[in-house]
Chains A and B, each alone.
Chain A
Amino acid sequence: DVKVTQSSRYLVKRTGEKVFLECVQDMDHENMFWYRQDPGLGLRLIYFSYDVKMKEKGDIPEGYSVSREKKERFSLILESASTNQTSMYLCASTPREGGPYEQYFGPGTRLTVT
């Protein structure tokens, strides 16, 4: 079974802090994604990566950056957390070849910025 894990289920940070959200997948998938989920807005894509050190902006990249130094790990970085970044963050992965395949999701990190 594909497993996508996220470093924390719940996180509370202060405004202005630098925040790292980590995601690891164990199925050698090339593609990895970061979404945020907000009530009434569904899931919105922040960034995705289709290979190590490769990244592309999604629909709402402002205020975020990402890092992909190893194939299995995709990190989302909030350079200076703000209260409007309080949200549920979901990581996903999928193979590159063929498809599009279904995306495999992690359990999510609920981030609160105070």
Chain B
Amino acid sequence: AQKVTQAQTEISVVEKEDVTLDCVYETRDTTYYLFWYKQPPSGELVFLIRRNSFDEQNEISGRYSWNFQKSTSSFNFTITASQVVDSAVYFCALSLDQSRPGFQKLVFGTGTRLLVSP
């Protein structure tokens, strides 16, 4: 069975602090994909990143960075110099490479609520 665990329910930081959101996944498949989504107060989930299981290189996009470690089954997300606009719920998700056409099921973690105060 596939599972995604986001142990941090809520994190509060002050603006300009760095913050790391943890994501631990479980799967027996060798081919899989990991995602991060952001859900601002407006409610719509926004895609942030996709990473496949064969690419362990860390990714940086502006103030965002992701650390993928297969050895610990983790795909952690760091926001550097956080801003108030980063306040949102962040979801980590896992997708398997299914053989059935059109079937792309995402297994989501329970989300981490990030509160950035001025």
CB distance from B23 to the nearest CB of A (A): 12
Question: Which residue of B33, B91, B103, B110 is within 8 Å of A56 (Cβ)?
Answer: B103
B11 at the interface (CB under 8 A from A): no
Question: B102 to chain A: which residues have CB within 8 Å?
Answer: 30-31, 50-51, 96
Question: B35 to chain A: which residues have CB within 8 Å?
Answer: 102
Indicate if the CB atoms of A42 and B109 lie closer than 8 Å.
yes
A42-59 to B contact mask, C-beta < 8 Å, 1/0? 111100101100001010
Indicate if the CB atoms of A104 and B43 lie closer than 8 Å.
no
Indicate if the CB atoms of A43 and B91 lie closer than 8 Å.
yes
Q: Considering only CB atoms and an 8 Å cut-off, how many residues of chain B contact the other chain?
A: 26
Interface residue ranges of B45-78 to A (CB < 8 Å): 45-47, 50
A99-114 to B contact mask, C-beta < 8 Å, 1/0? 1111111111010000
Tier of interface size on chain A: 20 to 34
Interface residue ranges of A9-50 to B (CB < 8 Å): 9, 30-31, 40-45, 48, 50
Indicate if the CB atoms of B42 and A41 lie closer than 8 Å.
no
Cα–Cα, bound, A31→B105 (Å)? 10
Cα–Cα, bound, A110→B33 (Å)? 29
Indicate if the CB atoms of B42 and A42 lie closer than 8 Å.
no
B14 at the interface (CB under 8 A from A): no
Indicate if the CB atoms of A100 and B95 lie closer than 8 Å.
yes
Indicate if the CB atoms of A107 and B47 lie closer than 8 Å.
no
Question: A99 to chain B: which residues have CB within 8 Å?
Answer: 104
Indicate if the CB atoms of B47 and A103 lie closer than 8 Å.
yes
Q: What 10 A-B pairs have minimum CB-CB distances, sorted nearest first? A: A50-B102, A102-B47, A100-B104, A105-B45, A42-B110, A108-B43, A96-B102, A43-B108, A42-B108, A100-B95
22 contacts between A and B (CB under 8 A): A30-B102, A40-B9, A42-B111, A43-B108, A45-B105, A48-B105, A50-B101, A58-B105, A90-B43, A90-B45, A94-B104, A96-B101, A96-B102, A100-B98, A100-B104, A103-B45, A103-B47, A105-B45, A107-B42, A107-B44, A108-B43, A110-B43
